[in-house]
Amino acid sequence: MPGHARLVRLHHPSLGDAVGALDEHGRWLALIPGPEALPRVEGLLRKSGRAATDSDSETADEARLTLARWFATGDAPETAPDGTPFQRRVWLALRDIPRGETRSYAEIARRVGCRSARAVGGAVGANPVCLFIPCHRVLASDGSLGGFAWGLGLKRTLLRAEGAPPANGP
């Protein structure tokens, strides 16, 4: 049975406002940017049967340091999002994409033994831990940005911040 989650409100100039959720072991369950972040995170937690409370100041400070460290160095903390076995395989593959590099949905599909880049796109789009499971590093096969749950402007910003080559087209 899932346990408890601590919510933390965050801000970073490259990300904007975001809400994170950490489990009782300090693993990230969610990191969602944007104005609708809090209800989205709360909905994810409800769906997984987790009770949520606001974090204490120590947890919030550590979460802010973790976010700043990720932007400075690319060091990603441990994550533990809820998902299907297929989604978790895709999310593990995303964590293997080095900072400053990109992969296509088709490349990820081959990596996880799936014939469908579209199915991989669905799993990428369902990723609840923005940044730390770097779904922004996945592009369409033609080199265009493809999709991004939190907007293509943020995807461009994140890729630029990491020094990734610019995407083709929109």
Per-residue pLDDT reduced to its tens digit, 63-92: 999 999 999 998 999 999 999 999 999 999
Cα–Cα distance for residue pair 163/99, rounded to 1 Å: 8
Cα–Cα distance for residue pair 135/145, rounded to 1 Å: 11
Question: What's the pLDDT at 169?
Answer: 61
Cα–Cα distance for residue pair 33/151, rounded to 1 Å: 10
Question: What's the pLDDT at 150?
Answer: 87
For residues 127 and 133, is the Cβ–Cβ distance under 8 A?
yes
For residues 15 and 67, is the Cβ–Cβ distance under 8 A?
yes
Known catalytic residues?
135
Q: How many residues does the chain have?
A: 170
For residues 131 and 15, is the Cβ–Cβ distance under 8 A?
yes
Q: What is the mean pLDDT of residues 137-147?
A: 93
Tell me: pLDDT of 1 over 80. Answer: no
Q: Rounded to two decimals, what is the model's pTM?
A: 0.91
HEC readout, 67-86: HHHHHHHCCCCCECCCCCHH
